[in-house]
């Protein structure tokens, strides 16, 4: 599903965030990407959804070779990926409902389905009373849950979650991880990036990748 072949990534010359990265993630895997902040977790995700291109090496995602992917096909790569952005990236002009529904709108789902899916997720994430609020008025934790709902709504084959529970209490974090596991059980790849190693205990079968000094080490 995701393949990195000798990938190098640097933002400034000579300082590599990722160095000679080789890895393969298969459908149905639940992966924790752990490492302290600043180590390159977000960069790793950006390479997957092709916001950044590697300086060297090749990346294959969901059958697309990102190196030769034309701009016109980029949306179809991204439609296969659900992203919980670390910085949320919500549309302030829209309300909670519209933000959650946005991904489904983009994929052209019928209105009734969008409504059902959005309400279902907002209920699970405790957002149903906020559906009509503009996202600007929400607390950080609420915003984070909106982003999670938006990323899950279209049941993407790949879910990239960048510190998705950083602003949530323990109870809500558990709910979120359960939602991720539910998606994962249907065959989707879930990559959960966090600096909090303790979270890995919540998903016993998960694969754990530790990012350190530009390289990935697998942990049991």
Partner 1 sequence: MLSFWLKKTWHNIRNNLGPQLGCLLTITLALGTFGMFILLGINFVQEVKQWQRKIPIIVFFNTAEQAQLAKEKIEKRNQISHVNYVSPKQSLLRLKKWLKDKEILLEGIDDNTLLPSLEIGLKTEFYNLNFLTTFAHSLKKMPGVVEVVYPSQLFLLAVKGWKFFQILLFLIGIFLSIATIFIVSNFVYLHFQKKKEEIAIMRLLGATEGFIRMPFFIEGILQGFIASLLSVFILWLFAHWFNRQIAEASLHFKLSFLNLKQTLGFIVFGSILGYLGSFLGTKK
Ligand X SMILES: Nc1ncnc2c1ncn2[C@@H]1O[C@H](COP(=O)(O)OP(=O)(O)O)[C@@H](O)[C@H]1O
Q: Note the residues at the interface with ligand X (CB under 6 A).
A: 11, 17, 35, 37-43
> Min. distance of Cβ 63 from Mg ion in angstroms?
27
Sheet holding 207-212, edge to edge: 81-84, 158-162, 189-194, 30-34, 207-212, 215-219
Nearest to 199 by CA among 185, 181, 183, 218: 181
Nearest to 143 by CA among 124, 120, 125, 161: 125
Tokens of 61: 């995602």
184: partner contacted, choices Mg ion, ligand X, partner 1, none (Cβ within 5-8 A by kind): none
Position with the least CB separation from Mg ion = 42
Examine residue 22 and tell whether it contacts partner 1 (CB under 8 A): no
Examine residue 116 and tell whether it contacts partner 1 (CB under 8 A): no
Binding mask 123-162 for partner 1 (x = CB under 8 A): ---------------------------x------------
Q: What is the contact surface with partner 1 in residues (CB under 8 A)?
A: 49, 51, 72, 74-81, 83, 85, 89-91, 93-94, 98, 102-103, 105-108, 111, 150
């Amino acid at each position: 599903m995701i393949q990195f072949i000798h990938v190098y990534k640097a933002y400034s010359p000579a300082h590599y965030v990722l160095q000679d990265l080789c890895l393969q993630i298969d459908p149905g895997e639940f992966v924790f990407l752990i490492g302290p902040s600043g180590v390159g977790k977000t960069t790793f995700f950006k390479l997957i959804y092709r916001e950044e291109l590697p300086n060297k090496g090749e990346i294959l995602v969901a059958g697309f070779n990102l190196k030769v992917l034309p701009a016109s096909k980029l949306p179809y790569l991204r439609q296969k990926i659900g992203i919980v952005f670390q910085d949320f990236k919500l549309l302030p002009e829209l309300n909670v409902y519209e933000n959650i529904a946005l991904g489904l709108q983009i994929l052209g789902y019928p209105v009734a389905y969008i409504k059902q899916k959005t309400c279902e997720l907002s209920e699970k994430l405790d957002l149903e009373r906020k559906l009509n609020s503009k996202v600007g008025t929400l607390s950080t934790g609420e915003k984070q849950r909106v982003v999670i709902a938006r990323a899950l709504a279209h049941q993407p084959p790949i879910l990239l979650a960048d510190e998705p529970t950083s602003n949530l209490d323990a109870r809500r974090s558990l709910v979120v991880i359960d939602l991720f596991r539910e998606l994962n059980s249907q065959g989707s790849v879930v990559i959960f990036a966090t600096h909090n190693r303790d979270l890995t205990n919540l998903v016993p079968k998960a694969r754990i990748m530790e990012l350190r000094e530009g390289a990935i080490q697998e942990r049991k």
